Amino acid sequence: MVSIVLASHGKFAEGIKESGQMIFGPQENVQAVVLTPDMGPDDMHKKLLDAIATFDDQDHVLFLVDLWGGTPFNQVSRIIEEEKHEDWVAITGLNLPMLVSAYGSRMGADTAVDVMKEIFPEAKGGIKVKPEALEPAGDAAPAAPVAVAPTASAIPEGTVLGDGHIKYAYVRIDTRLLHGQVATAWTKQISPDRILVVSDGVSHDDLRKNMIIEAAPPGVHVHVIPIDKLIEVDKDPRFGATKAMVLFETPQDLLRAEEGGVKFDSVCIGSMAHSVGKTVVNQAIACDEDDVKTLKAIRDNGTNFYVQKVPSDHADDIWALLKAKDMA
């Protein structure tokens, strides 16, 4: 796997490393190297070499640096010239879209150059303006995706695509629905062609709907739909070639979908937010008696659960977690 050095003035590299882990989970072979006011160029040079020496793979190293021409970049450039490794490459303008894209890209890339080529446009595309109308002329980002209901109206009714059954590649319960961890880490892991955000409340709330759509990953259609619409889509053979990621806000919403005939083999519990009356189960999940009752009803329908925030986390057993809190 390609190793990554984050290099910056001040504590920026350390902070963005922590931010990246919040979205993508803990990462191996990633080092943050910072230039502090008491350091000179040679000190930075040594810290960079020390960081590289910790990597399992020192042949493929990607340097993500804050600023072209600054001391961190100059010392990275010096090292690249001195060491003359064929696959050591640096990019400046370090931002969070660049970092999380690098984490995802290196999972399937053989070289640092391959990762660089993939993350470069995403890093540039991460610079956007809100309201969009204020985007400087000539530099406008691609138009934001529009929230629409999945439709097969262009395909004659009765047409069967694939085996006639929509593919649920990944189903998740998450209070936050579509957010950074889902839009980056899980989307890269699953590679769906549609994300279905299923919520009666959100589908009728234009503000929340638009916020979710703005979080959509590039190249993936996002649809915010009520539960009845999912039940309808599930029975429509025109969606037989669709590979979907499905997001529910609560287990109660998921149970309603199953009661309408939708069947899921397995469901990931990503987060269930704490509120008054709920018991904290772990850092991401809080439940009350109704939540546990609902989860048991879904389990009795033949659906398996696992708890996992990001792909790099270990998958935990929800029932073991609940039992530890005397709630199972």
Of the listed ranges 58-67, 119-128, 225-234, the one predicted with least confidence: 119-128
Q: Greatest CA separation found in the chain?
A: 72
Q: Residue with structure tokens 């539960």?
A: 227
Distance CA 75, CA 43 (A): 10
Whether pTM > 0.85 for this model: the answer is no
Distance CA 27, CA 6 (A): 13
Per-residue pLDDT tens digits for 135-155: 887 654 455 454 555 666 578
For 284-324, give the DSSP string.
SBEE-HHHHHHHHHHHHTT-EEEE-SSTTSPPBPHHHHHHH
Q: Which of 9, 45, 60, 223 is catalytic?
A: 9
User: Can you list the domains of the chain with their CATH numbers?
Assistant: 3-125 (3.40.50.510), 167-324 (3.40.35.10)
Banded model confidence at residue 210, pLDDT cuts 50, 70, 90: confident
Per-residue pLDDT tens digits for 85-122: 999 999 999 999 999 999 989 988 999 999 999 999 88
Is 204 a known active-site residue? Answer: no
pLDDT of residue 269: 97
Find, among 171, 146, 148, the residue nearest to 225 by Cα.
148
Beta strand segments in the chain, E: 3-9, 30-35, 61-65, 88-92, 167-174, 194-198, 221-225, 243-248, 266-271, 279-280, 286-287, 304-307
Q: Which of 85, 165, 179, 274 is catalytic?
A: 179
Burial of 228 (0-12, 13-18, 19+ CB in 10 A): middle
Mean pLDDT, the chain, as a whole number?
A: 90
pLDDT of residue 318: 97
